[in-house]
Amino acid sequence: MSTPILKVENLQKRFGGLTATDDVSLTVTAGEIHALIGPNGAGKTTLISQLFGELAHDAGSIALNGQKIDALSTPDRVARGLARTFQITCLLPDYTALQNVSIACQVHRGHSFHFMTDAHGNSELKEEAQSYLERVGLSDRGGALVANLAHGERKQLELAIALATRPRLLLLDEPMAGLGHVETQQMVALLRSLKGQFSMLLVEHDMDAVFALADRISVLVYGRIIATGSAEEIRRNADVKTAYLGEGDELC
Amino acid sequence: MTLFLEQVLNGLQLGVMLFLMAAGLTLIFGIMGIINLAHGSIYMIGAYAGTYVAMETGVYYAGIPAALAAAALTGSAMEFLVVRRLYKRDHLDQVLATFALILISNQAITLLFGRQPLFIGMPEALNSSVELLPGLFYSSYRLAIIAMGLLVALGLYLVINRTRIGMLVRAGSTNRDMVRALGVDIRLLYTIVFGLGALLAGLAGFMAGPILAVQVGMGEQILITTFVVVVIGGVGSIRGAFFASLIIGVFDTMLRAYLPGLLRQVMAGSEADALGAGLSSMGIYLLMALVLLIRPKGLFPAHS
Amino acid sequence: MTQSSSKFLISVCVMVALVALPFFADMLGQPALTSLATRVLIYGIAAASLNFVLGFGGMVSFGHAAFFGVGGYVVGILYQHYASGEPLFGFLPGTNQLLVTLPAAVLISGAVAAVIGALSLRTSGVQFIMITLAFAQMLFFFFVSLKAYGGDDGLIIRRANEVPGLNMRDKQTIYYVCLVAAIVFFALLSKLVNSRFGYVIAGLRQSEQRMAAIGLSAYRYKLVAFVISGMGAGLAGALMANFMRFASPDMLHWTKSGELMVMVILGGVGTVFGPLIGAGTFIVLESLLASWTENWQLGLGLILLFVVLYTQGGVQALLERVFGRRS
């Protein structure tokens, strides 16, 4: 078996008395969509933030493509091919959708110590950024300020920005959260179209979307992974059922 | 040796004064998220009001309630009229609005009291020296300030660790949103915190009266040193403010007392004095730079 | 197209007015107007430099007077060594050539900004404000203690720096020198804010988390921006020292940092030319109030309070709201 894109071993994170991440190990193999599900407060976003280097973990290790990245800062992890989207969108509010993507393209191309080259008029960057907007279905919204984008459009924009950093692994934090039925369908189709080109760790509440997309699913409860397996295996797993039924949360 | 101990005591006295200022400043920032440059103005107004009343009545102690009342009044006026509108604003607006308050307070005081500083003697009962150790005489007034400062520190410690308000204060300085989410009347908590900070600043200002000249600009002088204390101690941390105040007080006093002498061993007298004075006024800032290099969040960060 | 051409028209008009200003001042029998305009230009440069980190980059520096003062002292100290003939540190000859002193002032203020910035930028938010203020205060005390260069009293520069072919004793000439410096400065600044670097700096203001997520290490970009900003303030300080023929610790006083911030907010945060308008407003206001009452700071404080609490975006925005014009 080839080296997995992402290999997390025995990850731990404590906040005072609360163990937010409890001995988590998981892998994402090349081209795979690995979904991470779990009830609210299970520590999914906390886990993503640790993988992305925004939160330091207390113990355990994270390897990207076989190389340990524990000590790397977020920008260094991005340079190694990691990208994330945010559940509560984190965009540059004063910039247009196109500018949000083109600044990502610009940063990806190397340092930005160009003091006199005009950024806004650069057609090469613009074209590249536009291609990512097209890819997520926002091609005619490039000129709109982020403040004027609808919720669903912001979610799409998050994805376009992540793609512009040319990642190998996408960490997607609830890309469907807050979307309507139709928008969710579109997002599922979009992610499916990206499948194979990028590996993905998908945190999601929408079970239909998860079962439609994921190759493997891990279930996180109170910071622990209680099961990992195919959609079918997870559906049948007794522990998962109790965890979800106990929480009164939805499963299928 | 006695000289050295005397300087340590001077340092402690400066330290507790800084603590009275820093405690308020750091709490106001920690809980309310406000950077209040006008904290020094409250100190100045407390000093003027207390000193004025003490001089007019001839009773030093009459100055204490006057200083506290003036500080409380100024503090609540500031909170009600200006600071309340700044909670949701960014730091830039807070800095500029409270900078405006400094300009206004300084001019208002100049209009009321003129440009001449006020001088007031120490109260009768404390205008003497105590023999602490054989051969070590020390001003009773300064000792009283140290005692008062330590009492306030103890009082704050008890309030913060033993009472319900203290619990909210503690919670507020580590997680502001949580306190909001708990449904506590945050307005009231803010007013209490701001008022408490104002009282402490007014008290410090009045106590400084007999030691320093009471004059316009006294507030800003101590304010900037207080900022250094708050940064070294860790923004929002009372404990940090306490230790950093004492460290800065003693460090600054020691530098001023001994650095020129040390320099005189290697260079001419007048040059040594000038350089020594300059370097010792820079000392606390260099200490701050050093702390920042090692611990950017201060010695006792409140938000861990 | 029409917008950019009308912008061009406005800048041509402003430029013509600025070039013609000394003639009108003389014609009106108000030569003091030229001095006033010189100060506006100089403070405009300083405030616009501050605004680059503050308005564009979101770094609230409360210590920019330090760089302003360092720039002034570079001119003063070089002049003193030129006048006395004693080399600085035993080997550096002094000079009174503006074409040497200005770049020297810019470079040295940049170096000081690099040190202060490297330390201060380890923190952010309210700590950053307090720390920049504290470091500026430290430099203030440093210059106060420099007895060899006047200490408390400051350093008198008997004659303004020379420029080959120009009579720098003439206040009008100094005005034009400042005007040229301001034109070059603002041209570079508007290039800078629209550059890739400026784009990143403005991105950092909007969301540092987002910028990290696209792979940008914030620290070095912020530091470079801080250094550039310090260099601009140093340039202004050097011009001021030439104009006043004086450099003193007052240039580094913390209230000066406050005043620069006031100019920025009066003119509108985060615009290239706003601070110039803000500097003009501030200086005119100051002169008017001061001629009226000696307690002019009271008036200034009240106006500032009003501007902060009730207008968003300074005088420019206020005018736009009043006249209903949007740019």
Determine whether the interchain pair C141/B282 forms a contact, defined as Cβ–Cβ distance below 8 Å.
yes
| Contacts of A among chains (3+ CB pairs under 8 A) | C
Q: pLDDT tens across C223-265, in order?
A: 999 999 999 999 999 999 999 999 999 999 999 999 999 999 8
A63 pairs with which residues across the strands? A7, A68
pLDDT at A246: 56
Q: What is the pLDDT of residues A202-245, one digit of tens each?
A: 999 888 889 889 999 999 988 888 889 888 888 888 787 777 65
Report B:239-298 residues touching C (Cβ under 8 A): 270-271, 274-275, 277-279, 281-282, 285-286, 288-289, 292-293, 296-298
Are A202 and A34 in contact by the 8 Å Cβ rule? The answer is: yes
In this prediction, residue B78 carries a pLDDT of 92
CA contacts within 13 A on the Cβ side of A101: 33
pLDDT bracket for residue C22 (50, 70, 90)? confident
Instruction: Please tell me the predicted confidence (pLDDT) of residue C326.
Output: 41
Residues of A in contact with C206 (CB under 8 A): 92-95
Is the pLDDT confidence value at C322 over 70? no
In angstroms, the CA A2 to CA A31 distance is 12
Q: Do A112 and C224 touch (CB under 8 A)?
A: no
Q: How does residue A43 score in pLDDT terms, banded at 50, 70 and 90?
A: confident
Nearest CA to A47 among A2, A80, A108, A6?
A6
Cα four-point dihedral sign A176, A180, A181, A183: negative
CA-based nearest residue in chain C for residue A74: C212
* Burial readout C190-211 (b: 16 or more C-beta within 10 A, e: otherwise): eebbbbbbbbbbbbbbbbbebb
Cβ <8 Å between B224 and C137: yes
In whole angstroms, give the CA distance from residue C282 to residue C300: 9
Q: Grade residue C313 by pLDDT with cuts at 50, 70 and 90.
A: low
CA dihedral of A119, A124, A126, A131, whole degrees rounded to 10: -150
Residue C194 touches chain A, beta carbons under 8 Å: yes
Angstrom CA distances, A168 to A5, A80, A103, stand at 8, 8, 19
* Predicted pLDDT of residue A177: 87
Indicate the average pLDDT of chain C. 90
Tell me if B162 is assigned to some domain.
yes
B84 contacts chain C (CB < 8 A): no
Answer with the residue of higher pLDDT: C114 or B135. C114
A114-172 tens-digit pLDDT = 888 777 777 888 899 999 999 998 989 989 999 899 999 999 999 999 999 999 999 99
Do the domain assignments include residue B195? yes
Q: How far apart are CA A60 and CA A11, in angstroms?
A: 4
Q: Which of B35, B103, B109 to mutate to test the interface with C (most CBs of C within 10 A)?
A: B103
Sequence-distant (≥ 6) Cβ neighbours of residue C306 within 8 angstroms: none
Q: Nearest CA to CA, how far is C126 from chain B (Å)? A: 7
Judge: A107–C216 Cβ closer than 8 Å, yes or no.
Answer: yes
| Interface contact C212, partner A, CB < 8 A | yes
pLDDT for B173 equals: 65
With respect to residue B106, please indicate whether it lies within any of the assigned structural domains.
Answer: yes
CB-nearest to C151 from B100, B102, B274 is B274
Distances (CA, A) of C248 to B280, C13, C62, C296: 20, 36, 19, 23
DSSP letters for C291-317: HH-TTHHHHHHHHHHHHHHH-SSHHHH
Specify the number of domains making up chain B. Answer: 1
Phi, psi of B116 (to 5 degrees): -75, 135
pLDDT (mean) for C43-47: 97
Q: How far is C48 from chain A (nearest CA, A)?
A: 17
- Which residues, in sequence order, are bridge partners of residue B121? none
Q: Of C4, C52, C206, C210, which to mutate for an interface test with A (greatest number of A Cβ within 10 Å)?
A: C210
- Is the CB of C219 inside 8 Å of chain A's CB atoms? no
Q: How confident is the model at residue C319 (pLDDT cuts 50, 70, 90)?
A: low
Question: What pLDDT, on a 0 to 100 scale, did the predictor assign at position B304?
Answer: 43
Contact A74 C207 (CB under 8 A): no
Question: pLDDT-derived band of residue A200, with 50, 70 and 90 as boundaries?
Answer: very high
- Residue-averaged pLDDT of chain A: 88
Q: What Cα–Cα distance (Å) separates residue B91 from each residue in B86, B97, B193?
A: 9, 10, 19
- The answer to whether the CB of A55 falls within 8 A of the CB of C171 is no
In this prediction, residue A237 carries a pLDDT of: 82
Nearest-CA distance B82 → chain C (Å): 8
Q: Give residue-wise pLDDT tens across range C68-108.
A: 999 999 999 999 999 988 888 878 888 899 999 999 999 99
pLDDT of residue A17: 75
If pLDDT is split at 50, 70 and 90, which confidence band does C323 have?
low
* CB < 8 Å to A107, chain C: 200, 211, 214-216
Give the pLDDT confidence score for residue C324 in this predicted structure: 53
**8 Å CB contact of A112 and C214:** no
Does an H or E element contain A229, and which? strand A224-229
Q: What is the DSSP string of C219-281?
A: HHHHHHHHHHHHHHHHHHHHHHHHHHTEE-GGGG-HHHHHHHHHHHHHH-TT-SSHHHHHHHH
What would the mean pLDDT of C281-310 be, rounded to a whole number?
A: 88
pLDDT tens by residue, C126-160: 889 989 999 999 999 999 988 889 888 999 999 88
Nearest residue of chain C to residue A171 (CA atoms) = C213
Highest mean pLDDT, choosing among A35-39, C258-262, C297-301: C258-262
Q: Rounded to an integer, what distance in angstroms lies between the CA atom of residue C194 and that of residue C234?
A: 23
Residue type, A136: V
Angstrom distance (rounded) from CA A72 to CA A54: 10
Among residues 151-210 of chain C, which lie with CB inside 8 Å of chain B? 151
Rounded Cα distance between C220 and C22, Å, is: 43
10 Å Cβ neighbour count for C118?
17
Rounded Cα gap, residues C233 and C117, in angstroms: 14
Would you tell me how many other CB atoms lie within 10 Å of the CB of residue B134? 6
pLDDT of B115 reads 86
Whole-number pLDDT of residue C8 = 83
Backbone angle region of B236, left / alpha / beta, with phi > 0 → left and psi within -120 to 50 → alpha: left
Question: For A10, phi and psi rounded to 5 degrees?
Answer: 50, 45
Instruction: Please compute the mean of the pLDDT values over residues C6-20 and round it to a whole number.
Output: 86
Q: Is residue B299 part of a domain?
A: no
Identify the burial level of B170 via C-beta atoms within 10 angstroms of its C-beta, where 0-12 means exposed, 13-18 middle and 19 or more buried. Answer: middle
**What is the CATH number for B267?**
1.10.3470
Distances (CA, A) of B278 to C138, C147, C155, C249, C254: 9, 10, 17, 13, 17
Selected residues 80-139 of chain C with any CB under 8 Å from a CB in chain B: 119-120, 122-123, 125-127, 129-131, 133-135, 137-138
Q: What is the per-residue burial (b if ≥16 Cβ within 10 Å, else e) of C54-86?
A: bbbbbbbbbbbbbbbbbbbbbbbbbbbbbeeee
Within chain B, which residues score under 70 in pLDDT? 173-184, 302-304
CB A37 within 8 Å of CB A229: no
For C200, the closest of A91, A108, A112 (CB atoms) is A112
Cβ–Cβ < 8 Å for B137, B129 = yes
Binding-site residues on chain A for chain C (CB distance < 8 A): 52, 54, 73-76, 78-79, 83-84, 86, 90-95, 99, 103-104, 106-108, 112-120, 122, 161-162, 164-165
| DSSP class of C166 | -
Identify the residue with better confidence: C45 or C122: C45
Q: Which residue of C has its CA nearest to B99?
A: C258
Interface test with C, best of A90, A128, A161 (most C CBs within 10 A): A90
Structure tokens at C273: 């030319």
Q: Per residue in B163-217, pLDDT tens?
A: 887 887 777 766 666 666 666 677 778 888 899 999 999 999 999 988 888 999 8
Residue count (chain A): 252
What is the share, in percent, of chain A residues with pLDDT greater than 90? Answer: 51
Question: How close does chain C come to B287, measured CA to CA in Å?
Answer: 11
Question: In this complex, is the C-beta atom of C217 within 8 Å of any C-beta atom belonging to chain A?
Answer: yes
> Residue B98 belongs to what domain range?
2-123+139-294
Separation of alpha carbons B218 and B212, rounded Å? 9
In this structure, are residues C283 and B120 in contact, taking their beta carbons and an 8 Å threshold?
no
pLDDT confidence band for C318 (50 / 70 / 90): low
On whether residue B130 sits in a domain, the answer given is no
| Partner-chain contact B96 C261, CB within 8 Å | yes
Give the model's pLDDT for residue C15.
87
Element (DSSP H or E) covering residue B235 = none
For residue B46, being part of any structural domain is answered with yes
Q: Calculate mean pLDDT across residues A33-62.
A: 90
On whether any CB of chain C is under 8 Å from the CB of B77, the answer is no
CB contact under 8 A, C215 and A106: no
Q: Cβ atoms within 10 A of the Cβ of C130, count?
A: 28
**Structure tokens given for C289:** 């109030």
CB C269 within 8 A of CB C51: yes
